[in-house]
Structure formats: C-alpha cells, structure tokens
Amino acid sequence: MAGSKIRLYGSTSGYVELEAPAVGDDGVLSLPTAAGGFGAAGIGSNVVQTVKTDTFTTASTSFVDVTGFTVSITPSSTSSKILVIASFTLAGTGSRQAGNSYGISARLRRDSTDIYIGDVAGSRTRASTGVAPYHAEDYAQNTLIFLDSPNTTSSVTYGMQVAHPTNSQGRLVTIGRSGTDADNNQYSRHPSSYTAIEVAA
C-alpha cells in the first residue's frame, strides 16, 4: 500500500517507524537470519576473559604453561578471527647487575600451537615477548595483542608459556610479582588478564 508504514514499539515506551522510500519500482528488503543477523557474528558479540590474581613462578629452562592463565572461546564460523589480548607482568629473581640473569621469555599459544612468535634466527629463542631484568626488583608490564585465525568452529584455548632458557643457577621466572617480592609495601602484586574476542570476517 502506497505510503504505508511499519511501527515498532519499544518494550516500555516510544516507537520507531519504517517507511518505504518514494521509488517507482518494487524493492525487496532481506532481513538477516538468526545465524548471521543483528548481534550474531561481529565485534563484541562473543567475548570471554580470564583474570588471574595469583602469581606464578618457575625455574624451567624450557617453556612451561602458566597455570590458571588460559581462555577458551568457540568461534561461530570458520572464517571468524579471534582478537587475543594478554596483559601481565614478567620478571625474574636474578639480575644483570649481579651477573646472574639472562633473557626471560614468554610466548602465546593456541591449544598446542605457538602463535605470535619471532622468526627462526640461529640459536635465539622464538618468543612473543621477553625481559632481562637489571635489578631483581624490576618487572615489565606486557600487553600482547594478536588477531588469530583458528579456522574452526570448535572450542580453542589460548594460553601462555614462559622459560628461563639459559638458567644455570635456579633463578625464577615470575608472573604477577617482582623477582624480589619481599613482604613490605615497597613491592606489589599484579593481576593478569587474558581476553578473546570473536571478530566476524
């Protein structure tokens, strides 16, 4: 009917009217299905987060999982990408000042696959980030952001591993605290967060 309108009422008050444009030819407006409709795939429609408030330490020279620091998400489409954001403090008990600390490394993982790591370069460690503390009191705040393409509609789990590759003195890698971590208000504890956000292709 010429000049007809559709009025959509709000749940409490107000309304929005849809009115056909003044065109000579017929037209068709195709509304999206539930699978691909409003609020389905898109930024922010599928968001999960893990917050780790305790600390983690290891003296391992090979990469080990950081316990309690994973986040799982199930993409709605194989074409979806996952925006991964990991925020944490990284430190160690040794120090370059004392001559007993070398590079501490951390890397992101999807299930059992390393992601967002540097290229192969001789014997150098492939990692997502790292730190070589000058003092044992030092720590580095890290925020890693990576847009991953898991190519699946099955649940995927993102985690993190850390290592002290050249450790020969039992020095610790630490997450969520400084290397010294003495019991006084000079030192602090820090939360870690891991967020995964589905982004429709």
**In this structure, is residue 21 part of a structural domain?**
no
Distance of alpha carbon 162 from alpha carbon 86, whole angstroms: 13
pLDDT of residue 70 exceeding 60: yes
pLDDT of residue 76 exceeding 70: yes
Q: Per-residue pLDDT tens for 12-43?
A: 767 767 676 666 666 666 555 545 444 444 56
- In this prediction, residues 173-177 reach a mean pLDDT of 92
Domain count, the chain: 1
The identity of residue 27, as a single letter, is G
- In this prediction, residues 194-199 reach a mean pLDDT of 96
Query: What pLDDT was estimated at residue 38?
Result: 47
Altogether, the residues listed in the chain come to a count of 201
**In this structure, is residue 133 part of a structural domain?**
yes
Instruction: Please tell me the pTM assigned to this model.
Output: 0.75
Distance of alpha carbon 2 from alpha carbon 17, whole angstroms: 15
Q: Per-residue pLDDT tens for 111-163?
A: 999 999 999 999 999 999 988 776 666 778 899 999 999 999 999 999 999 99
Q: Mean pLDDT, the chain, as a whole number? A: 84
Distance of alpha carbon 130 from alpha carbon 102, whole angstroms: 10
**In this structure, is residue 24 part of a structural domain?**
no
**In this structure, is residue 31 part of a structural domain?**
no
In percent, the amount of the chain with pLDDT more than 90 equals 53
Distance of alpha carbon 148 from alpha carbon 194, whole angstroms: 14
Please give the residue range of the domain that contains residue 126.
42-182+189-199
Query: What pLDDT was estimated at residue 14?
Result: 72
Q: What CATH number should be reported for the domain holding residue 158?
A: 2.60.120.1340
Sign of CA dihedral 158, 82, 88, 100: positive
pLDDT tier, 101 (very low <50, low <70, confident <90, very high otherwise): low
**In this structure, is residue 127 part of a structural domain?**
yes
Q: Which of 100, 158, 149, 160 has its CA nearest to residue 127?
A: 160
Sign of CA dihedral 172, 192, 161, 130: negative
Contact 167, 59 (CB under 8 A): yes
**In this structure, is residue 96 part of a structural domain?**
yes
Sign of CA dihedral 183, 187, 188, 194: negative
**In this structure, is residue 79 part of a structural domain?**
yes
**In this structure, is residue 2 part of a structural domain?**
no
